[in-house]
Amino acid sequence: MRHPRWTLGLVLLAVSAFLPSPAHSAPAIPPAGPAVPVLDEDATPETHTVLEDVDFGVRTRSFGLDRQVDMYQWRATADGYEKVWNSAYIDSSGFDEAHRNPPMPLDTARWWAGDATLAGRPLDVEVLRALGEWRVFRPAFSRLPLNMAATFQPDGDGLGSAENPLQPQVGDLRIRWRELVLPPLPGLVAYRDGAWRLRRSATPGTRTPAAAVAADEARAAPATQVEPPAWNWTWAAVGVIALLALLLLRRRRRR
């Protein structure tokens, strides 16, 4: 070969341009994102909201408050009419005059805690709706407004408007309240997008081991993109210098 140094220089120049540069010699460590909170097995949800049914002054510090209203009404049957307690208004527009139902003055209502947390982090309201358990409770009625106190009296766990609860009349109301409690949540929720959210197919009786929860969270984490190596100008410059040195050396030898 007539010009081995020329050939060597060109090879060095070509190869050096594609060598990894110092900036890309090691994979970049992505910046640490927000830490996923650790959920202990005994972690319990909390709320600081006081839910209130202002119509009756009924309060609770639970995760939900439910008011159930029943009215004693006429209902049509195959044999005529009968009186029943019913939570929904029975349309009696087609009944005869003696069996018309009066308007229903109160409706069933429900309130949710909006500040529920678990391990100090927000708890999605869908967790309350899906996993919460409604339990009947009897309020103290210490905040019962005067107008309601004149109409209602204690009746079982709630209030009733019948003068004689054993002989209600059509149009009488019966009101009960329930409060929402939550089961142990570890294994039923996963931390995503800044809040504890319901795991897929989670039900109170099917808790998922902590290892599976961690695997789901890892799969949900965004993938780190790897940038392609940039053109290595540092090594290219080294190749150019080596080539120039070879040219100068060859020129001196010719002289």
> Could you tell me if 64 and 164 lie in one domain?
yes
Are 149 and 239 in the same domain?
no
Q: Would residue 36 count as lying in a domain?
A: no
Higher-scoring residue by pLDDT: 19, 222: 19
| Together in a domain, 239 and 179 | no
CA atoms within 13 A on the CB side of 133: 9
Tell me, what amino acid is at 183? P
- Does residue 195 lie within any of the structural domains? no
Global pTM reads: 0.66
Decide which of 165, 184, 203 is a domain's last residue: 184
Task: Identify whether residues 14 and 55 lie together within a single domain.
Answer: no
Q: In this predicted model, what pLDDT tens digit does every residue of 12-49 receive, in sequence order?
A: 555 555 555 555 555 555 555 556 778 888 889 999 99
Higher pLDDT, 39 or 88: 88
Instruction: Clarify whether residues 58 and 99 are in a common domain.
Output: yes
| 38 located within any domain | no
Pair 180, 249 in one domain: no
Same domain, yes or no: 150 and 250: no
Residue 205 lies in a domain: no
Domain shared by 106 and 152, yes or no: yes
Could you write out the three-class secondary structure of the chain?
A: CCCHHHHHHHHHHHHHHCCCCHHHCCCCCCCCCCCCCCCCCCCCCECCCCEEECCCCEEECCCEEEEEEEEEEEEEECCEEEEEEECCCCCCCCCCHHHCCCCCCCCCEEEECCCCEECCEEECHHHHHHHCEEEECCCCCCCCCHHHHHHCEEECCEEECCCCCCCCCCCCEEEEEEEEECCCCCCCEEEECCEEEECCCCCCCCCCCHHHHHHHHHHHCCCCCCCCCCCCHHHHHHHHHHHHHHHHHHHHHHC
Q: Would residue 161 count as lying in a domain?
A: yes
Per-residue CA distances from 243 to 6, 120, 233 (Å): 7, 64, 15
* Model pLDDT, residue 81: 96
- Indicate if 116 and 238 belong to the same structural domain: no
CB–CB of 20/232 below 8 Å?
yes
| 189 residue type, one letter | V
64-85 pLDDT, tens digit per residue, is: 999 999 999 999 999 999 999 9
Measured in degrees and rounded to the nearest 5, phi and psi for residue 233 equal -70, -30
201 located within any domain: no
Q: What residue numbers bound the domain in which 241 lies?
A: 1-19+232-255
Residue 107 lies in a domain: yes
Per the structure, how many domains does the chain have? Answer: 2
- Reported as a single tens digit per residue, the pLDDT across 152-177 is 999 999 999 999 999 999 999 999 99
Say whether both 62 and 147 belong to one domain: yes
Does one domain contain both 81 and 3?
no
CA distance 99 to 74: 6
Q: Does the residue 80 lie in any domain? A: yes
Per-residue pLDDT reduced to its tens digit, 114-131:
999 999 999 999 999 999
